């Protein structure tokens, strides 16, 4: 099959959005796995809910906008957007059913067996508990509530995105035949669950909506409450930033953030026992179609159940702590730059502590020899020491430049707040690049040493975020390699000056060069294989979507090259097609930590080329973002990466293999085979 014929074959691609749902199913499998502690299973379940919420607010909302605009585009496998939306609805309905089977049949009973009892029926309450709830309601809840009648003089309220609400049917004492309708929003500022007083070891919890339900008659004097049913709305929350408009990017992002709470409704979750007439009324008021409504059998807003993960005295119901090691802690801070000069250093987070990065920045902020610091920030934690050290560096007279990505999805507001604090401290803040997202993770330190200026660089596959660094697997590099550091200096100059990015000598950067460089590396392996030389490709990333890159991997497979792909999430490549992809194996590892590192390795006739990157192989990374792929040049470091990969490929506990049929099949040790959970094994090296 030639390239043109191959590229037009829709059967060689999986659909992007449906592949993402398959990933969320793999996360849900971890919530089902009885070998995981019960609160970890609950956490996985909450993650699936959070994932699904963002998927609807962004991806499904985008598809919906396309269809409503008359643009019914085809995806890689030929499905139109309208068809994808309907298929999403089918798969998500199945997914929700599975979520609640796990919650109701497995997790809640297991929590109860461990003396955490979640009560969902007021008939289970004791007399003393009812009195305690009534007191709590009067003191903490009642004054916050606002009953909203729905009638010709009271239109349907514009309810907040993802808010939990109660739809209430009432009758008048004067006219019992006519139904009235009202809504009460469950306050999000109050804890979703109330812990009830107890004298024994059992801990009992009652939901906030249950507390409100018990006292609704207090809100509707002269009316009789007939039915109460919970629902929530999901709204389009993808920011549409018009960067060509007048005003700064900062101003436009601030304006658009206000619209996030009030976008069009794209999904309605409603309790499955809600009567059909009430359901139809809510749907009509929200302009929701049948395939956009999801019937929920139990607690809505599953993500709120993360409350229980934070309970005190529950460490025995979680994974045991794996301590992160700060490999720089044995050195005094004034030896850090000397250590980097001796050779490149690679850290594997979370096994290696992120504090090493913070320590480097702390010392740089205080070191009189440091003249300048330049950094990109996509996401960081709210209380990040990094922000403090950057402020401190500026206050100490160093030239500090920070490129802040204002369009980091759902972190926009936080980024604006701390970016303005940096600016107030004298940091030169560059608010993004027009038309692109700054997604690369780069730190450059300029230091005067023996009358010469030396550059030191830190590059990473993950964000400068000490919180996520505890549960994301990422790799980062400290180096003062002259070619790499000069490239990074050039990169910063291009970004801050809005100049065209030149071709760099060792670093590959998007949006101009990255995809072509990766394709060139794949094509070189193909040429080597055709010449009878050994060839091999290993790629690890979060998502694989780019058509041209997938076609190149098919060509590599067709000439006999073994290709190992470790793709955590979306994979549009179909493995195992005879003559096309039979030499490609696709693995997905979903475990305790979120697999986030991007590793690209090419055999190169026995002289391996090893790269780390901030980018996945997706069109948005290649053409709509500032990304970097950087080489690991030190042989010892390359060998460390090879060891990591060897362990990953041996995983037979948390790894799933993607079949040609689109099904991921979880591996398990065969008889006599040693179980290998790669994430736990990597903690040992």
Give the end of a domain, one of 447, 478, 506. 506
What pLDDT score was predicted for residue 11?
A: 87
Domain assignment present for residue 355? The answer is yes
Averaged pLDDT in 10-residue chunks for the chain of 685 residues: 69 96 98 97 97 94 90 90 96 98 97 96 93 96 90 72 91 75 92 92 95 92 89 80 47 51 84 88 86 94 96 96 84 82 95 93 94 88 82 95 72 69 88 84 94 94 90 96 97 89 95 97 98 98 97 97 98 97 98 97 97 97 96 97 98 98 96 95 91
pTM: 0.92
* 348 shares a domain with 283: no
Q: Choose the final residue of a domain: 506, 528, 553.
A: 506
pLDDT 10s digits, 94-146: 999 999 999 999 999 999 999 999 998 889 999 999 999 999 999 999 999 99
Contact, 291 vs 89, CB < 8 A? yes
* Final residue belonging to a domain, choices 506, 535, 565: 506
Residues whose CB is less than 8 angstroms from the CB of residue 213 and which lie 6 or more positions away in sequence, other chains included: 122, 166, 228
∠ at Cα 39 (35, 40), nearest 5°? 55
- Same domain, yes or no, for 395 and 282? no
| 326 within domain boundaries | no
Helix ranges (H only) for 137-228 are 208-214
Which regions of 544-637 does DSSP assign to beta strands (E)? Answer: 562-567, 584-589, 594-595, 599-602, 609-613, 625-631
Q: Examine the domain organization and report whether 486 and 352 are in the same domain.
A: yes
- Any domain includes 64: yes
Q: What is the pLDDT of residue 279?
A: 87
The whole-angstrom separation of Cα 611 and Cα 492 is: 20
CATH of the domain at 584: 3.30.870.10
How many CB atoms lie under 10 A from the CB of residue 617? 28
**Structural domain includes residue 308:** no
Residues 182 and 49 in one domain: no
What one-character DSSP code corresponds to residue 80? B
Handedness of CA 265, 266, 271, 274 (dihedral sign): positive
C-alpha atoms less than 13 angstroms from C-alpha of 243 in its C-beta half-sphere = 10
Task: State whether 464 and 612 are in the same domain.
Answer: no
Could you list the residue range(s) of the whole structural domain that residue 157 is in? 129-297
Angle at 402 between CA 400 and CA 405, to 5 degrees: 175
CATH number of the domain that residue 78 is part of: 1.20.58.310
Question: Is 271 marked active-site?
Answer: no
Query: Under 8 Å CB-to-CB from 592, ≥6 apart: which residues?
Result: 40, 319, 471, 679, 680
Q: Mention every residue, 6+ apart, whose C-beta is less than 8 A from residue 351.
A: 322, 324, 325, 682, 683
Quick one: 487 and 535 in the same domain? no
CATH assignment of the domain containing 191: 3.30.1840.10
Residues 531 and 494 in one domain: no
Count of Cβ atoms closer than 10 Å to residue 222 Cβ: 9
Does residue 466 belong to any structural domain of this protein? yes
Of 229, 271, 349, 439, the active-site residue reads: 439
- 364, 380: one domain: yes
Do residue 540 and residue 665 come from a single domain?
Answer: yes
478 and 544 assigned to the same domain: no
Decide if 320 is inside a domain.
no
559 lies in the same domain as 590: yes
Q: Whose CA is closest to 35, among 473, 471, 591?
A: 591
Any domain includes 314: no
Q: What single string gives the DSSP state of each residue in 118-150?
A: E---GGG--HHHHHHHHHHIIIIITTT---EEE
What's the pLDDT at 241? 44
643: in domain? yes
Strand runs labelled E in 130-277: 148-150, 164-172, 179-185, 193-196, 203-207, 223-235, 265-271
Same domain, yes or no, for 172 and 27? no
Structural domains counted in the chain: 4
Among candidates 187, 184, 156, which has minimal Cα distance to 170? 184
């Amino acid at each position: 099959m030639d390239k043109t014929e191959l590229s037009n074959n829709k059967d060689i691609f999986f659909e992007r959005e449906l592949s993402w749902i398959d990933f969320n199913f793999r996360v849900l499998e971890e919530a089902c796995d009885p070998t995981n502690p019960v609160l970890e299973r609950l956490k996985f379940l909450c993650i699936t809910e959070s994932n699904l919420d963002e998927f609807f607010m962004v991806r499904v909302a985008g598809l919906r906008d396309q269809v409503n605009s008359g643009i019914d585009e085809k995806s890689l496998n030929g499905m139109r957007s309208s068809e994808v939306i309907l298929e999403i609805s089918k798969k998500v309905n199945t997914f929700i059913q599975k979520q609640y089977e796990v919650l109701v049949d497995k997790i809640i009973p297991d929590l109860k067996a461990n003396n955490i009892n979640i009560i969902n029926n007021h008939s289970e309450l004791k007399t003393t508990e009812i009195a305690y709830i009534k007191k709590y309601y009067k003191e903490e809840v009642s004054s916050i509530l606002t009953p909203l009648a729905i009638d010709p003089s009271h239109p349907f309220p514009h309810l907040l995105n993802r808010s939990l609400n109660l739809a209430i049917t009432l009758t008048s004492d004067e006219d019992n035949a006519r139904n009235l309708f009202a809504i009460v929003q469950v306050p999000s500022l109050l804890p979703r669950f109330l812990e009830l007083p107890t004298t024994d070891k059992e801990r009992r919890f009652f939901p906030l909506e249950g507390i409100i339900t018990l006292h609704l008659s207090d809100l509707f004097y002269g009316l009789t409450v007939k039915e109460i049913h919970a629902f929530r709305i999901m709204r389009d929350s993808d920011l549409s930033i018009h960067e060509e408009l007048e005003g700064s990017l900062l101003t436009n992002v601030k304006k658009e953030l206000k619209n996030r709470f009030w976008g069009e409704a794209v999904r309605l979750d409603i309790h499955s026992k809600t009567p059909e007439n009430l359901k139809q009324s809510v749907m009509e008021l929200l302009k929701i179609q049948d395939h956009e409504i999801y019937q929920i059998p139990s607690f809505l807003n599953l993500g709120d159940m993360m409350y229980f993960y934070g309970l005190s005295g529950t460490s025995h119901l979680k994974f045991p702590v794996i301590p992160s090691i700060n490999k720089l802690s044995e050195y005094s801070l004034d030896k850090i730059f000397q250590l980097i000069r001796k050779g490149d250093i690679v850290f594997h987070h979370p096994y290696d502590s992120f504090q090493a990065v913070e320590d480097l920045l702390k010392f740089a902020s205080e070191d009189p020899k440091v003249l300048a610091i330049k950094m990109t920030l996509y996401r960081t934690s709210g209380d990040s020491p990094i922000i403090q050290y950057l402020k401190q560096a500026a206050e100490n007279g160093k030239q500090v430049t920070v490129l802040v990505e204002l369009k980091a999805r759902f972190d926009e507001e936080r980024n604006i707040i701390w970016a303005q604090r940096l600016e107030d401290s004298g940091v030169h803040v560059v608010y993004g690049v027009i038309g692109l997202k700054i997604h690369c993770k780069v730190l450059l330190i300029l230091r005067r040493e023996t009358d010469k200026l030396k550059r030191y660089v830190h590059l990473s596959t993950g964000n400068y975020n000490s919180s996520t660094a505890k549960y994301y697997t990422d790799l980062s590099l400290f180096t003062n390699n002259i070619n790499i550091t000069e490239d990074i200096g050039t990169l910063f100059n291009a970004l801050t000056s809005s100049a065209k990015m030149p071709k760099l000598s060792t670093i590959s950067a998007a949006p101009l060069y990255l995809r072509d460089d990766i394709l060139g590396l794949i094509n070189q392996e193909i040429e080597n294989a055709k010449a009878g030389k050994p060839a091999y490709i290993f790629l690890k990333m979060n998502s694989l979507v780019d058509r041209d890159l997938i076609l190149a991997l098919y060509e590599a497979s067709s000439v006999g090259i073994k290709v190992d792909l470790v793709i955590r999430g979306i994979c549009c490549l179909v493995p195992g097609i005879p003559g096309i992809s039979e030499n490609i194996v696709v693995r997905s590892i979903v475990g305790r930590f979120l697999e986030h590192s991007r590793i690209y390795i090419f055999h190169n006739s026995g002289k391996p080329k090893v790269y780390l990157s901030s980018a996945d192989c997706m069109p948005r990374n290649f053409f709509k973002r500032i990304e970097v792929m950087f080489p690991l040049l030190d042989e010892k470091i390359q060998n460390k990466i090879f060891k990591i990969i060897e362990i990953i490929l041996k995983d037979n506990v948390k790894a799933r293999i993607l079949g040609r049929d689109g099904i991921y099949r979880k591996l398990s040790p065969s008889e006599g085979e040693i179980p290998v959970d790669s994430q736990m094994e990597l903690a040992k090296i």
